[in-house]
């Protein structure tokens, strides 16, 4: 018969007090940085705690207001679109990498909408569930930054604008306008004049920046057949919009998709309708991923280190938790990687 070992008992403040020869209250004062003990006693208590491998209880820290050792991340999007979104998978991977180094947990929740997300923040704050939050998908007239300021909950806005200013919030942003301008420049250099941007959710701030930049670039270059169509980021909507566009009497010669999943769906629809890529229509994906490199032709795409985006955001949040000042951090402009899905413009139309 195999004997079962008793579970290892976690060291307690009583164990530390006994080893250090002080009272339990003195141990509490020393470990929590409170007055009431001498610096000599504080050093001795902390040394004993380290020797015994003592760590503060997360639940006890929360109840005492000392912190939860957890970071919150709420996503107000349809769950149906999350499993296929390579950007968020890479983003969370980068976030988790930094949090693990600091022994911080990540509390993730999907919300119905922004109002529901705000309710989650209020509940987490009241329950001491998280020490800070990472905010994604900034919106025009976004209520979340003001709420987080009001609650005093440290936060980092991922993908915000450089002019967003809130006392307790940092911003990590990439230049969507510069990235869109680079795509338009590449396509117009190839002779494309009928360009359609198949965008994501219309109320997102970065979607609006991309739409504005596309309009401005079209006006600057005198292009009258350039426009955007918004979607929910899903492959289904990407395919439906592509089918409608390529089925029109005057089809676009270039399509810019706001993510890789829609771009691959669009590529499939183009083949189904007899439009050769890139001979009849060029395709560009905003996000680069393995999907873009596995299809044929391989997709031209805007490349960026999405995991580094997450690592940077997590580092900025831990800096706030350490008492640092809020700041704005700019990441490199996504770089257009040209592959086999873009070529010089020809008259659009299905192959015969």
Residues spanned by the domain of 204: 176-303
Percent of the chain as helix, strand, coil, to the nearest 5: 45, 15, 40
Question: Which tens digit of pLDDT belongs to each residue from 45-86?
Answer: 999 988 887 776 554 554 455 567 899 999 998 776 666 677
63 domain-assigned: no
**Do 133 and 208 lie in a common domain?**
no
Report pLDDT for 5. 42
Helix (H) or strand (E) holding 122: helix 114-126
Specify if 345 maps to a domain: no
Are 84 and 158 members of one domain?
A: yes
Kindly tell me the burial class for residue 28, based on how many C-beta atoms sit within 10 Å of its own C-beta (0-12, 13-18, 19 or more).
middle
The whole-angstrom separation of Cα 258 and Cα 209 is 12
Side-chain half-sphere exposure of 175, counting CA atoms within 13 A? 12
Same domain, 216 and 269: yes
* pLDDT above 70 as % of the chain: 89
Contact 168, 153 (CB under 8 A): yes
Q: pLDDT tier at 323 (50, 70, 90 boundaries)? A: confident
Q: Which tokens belong to 276?
A: 């050769």
217: which 2 tokens? 């670039």
What is the spatial distance between Cα 133 and Cα 200, in angstroms, rounded to a whole number? 24
- 15-24, 110-119, 161-170, 304-313: which range is least confident on average? 161-170
What is the rounded average pLDDT of the residues 271-297? 95
Q: Per the domain annotation, does 317 fall within a domain?
A: yes
Tens-place pLDDT, residues 7-60: 456 678 888 999 999 998 888 888 877 778 899 999 999 999 888 877 765 545
- Same domain, yes or no, for 162 and 311? yes
User: What span, in angstroms and rounded, lies between the C-alpha atoms of 114 and 99?
Assistant: 25
Report which DSSP code applies to 271.
H
Q: Encode pLDDT of 124-138 as tens digits.
A: 988 888 999 999 999
Give the pTM: 0.79
Asked if residue 350 belongs to a domain, the reply is no
Both 129 and 41 in one domain: the answer is no
143 with 205, same domain: the answer is no
Is pLDDT of 4 > 70? no
User: pLDDT value at position 85?
Assistant: 72
The answer to whether residue 64 sits within a structural domain is: no
Closest by CA to 78, choosing from 110, 46, 101, is: 110
User: Position of tokens 């990235």?
Assistant: 179
pLDDT in tens, 171-185: 999 899 999 999 999
Angle at 173 between CA 219 and CA 108, to 5 degrees: 125
Least confident of 64-68, 166-170, 194-198, 212-216: 64-68
pLDDT of residue 263: 97
Question: Contact at 8 Å (CB) between 111 and 135?
Answer: no
Which helix (H) or strand (E) segment is 314 a member of? helix 306-321
230 has which bridge partners? 199
By the 10 Å C-beta count (0-12 exposed, 13-18 middle, 19+ buried), 202 is classed as middle
User: Is the backbone peptide bond immediately before 260 cis, with ω within 30 degrees of 0?
Assistant: no
**Total structural domains within the chain:** 3
Tell me: pLDDT of 347 over 80. Answer: no
Strands (E), 84-137: 105-110, 132-135
Q: What is the mean pLDDT of residues 135-157?
A: 92
CATH classification at residue 40: 1.10.260.40
Residues 85 and 147 in one domain: yes
**How many residues in total does the chain contain?**
352
Q: Are residues 185 and 329 in the same domain?
A: no
Q: State both tokens at 231.
A: 């979607």
């Amino acid at each position: 018969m195999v004997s079962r070992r008793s579970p290892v008992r976690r060291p307690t403040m009583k164990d530390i007090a006994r080893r250090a020869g002080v009272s339990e209250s003195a141990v509490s004062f020393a470990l929590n940085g409170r007055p009431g003990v001498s610096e000599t006693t504080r050093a001795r208590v902390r040394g004993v705690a380290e020797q015994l491998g003592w760590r503060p209880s997360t639940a006890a820290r929360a109840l005492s207001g000392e912190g939860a050792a957890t970071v919150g991340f709420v996503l107000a999007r349809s769950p149906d679109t999350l499993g296929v979104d390579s950007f968020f998978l890479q983003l969370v991977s980068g976030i988790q990498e930094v949090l693990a180094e600091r022994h911080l947990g990540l509390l993730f929740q999907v919300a119905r909408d922004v109002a529901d997300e705000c309710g989650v923040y209020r509940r987490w704050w009241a329950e001491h569930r998280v020490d800070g939050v990472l905010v994604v998908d900034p919106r025009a007239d976004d209520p979340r930054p003001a709420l987080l300021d009001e609650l005093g909950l440290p936060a980092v806005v991922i993908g915000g604008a450089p002019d967003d200013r809130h006392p307790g919030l940092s911003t990590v942003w990439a230049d969507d306008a510069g990235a869109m301008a680079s795509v338009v420049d590449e396509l117009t250099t190839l002779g494309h004049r009928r360009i359609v941007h198949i965008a994501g959710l219309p109320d997102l701030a970065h979607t609006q920046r991309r739409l504005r930049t596309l309009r401005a670039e079209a006006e600057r270059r005198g292009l009258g057949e350039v426009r955007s169509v918004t979607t929910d980021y899903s492959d289904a909507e990407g395919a439906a919009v592509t089918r409608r566009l390529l089925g029109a009497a005057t089809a676009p010669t270039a399509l810019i998709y706001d993510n890789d999943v829609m771009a691959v769906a669009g590529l499939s629809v183009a083949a189904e309708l007899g439009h050769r890529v890139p001979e009849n229509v060029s395709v560009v994906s905003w996000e680069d991923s393995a999907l873009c490199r596995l299809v044929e032709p391989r997709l031209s795409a805007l490349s960026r280190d999405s995991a580094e985006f997450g690592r940077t955001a997590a580092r900025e949040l831990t800096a706030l938790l350490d008492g640092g000042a809020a700041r704005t951090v700019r990441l490199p402009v996504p770089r257009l990687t040209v592959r086999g899905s873009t070529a010089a413009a020809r008259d659009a139309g299905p192959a015969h």
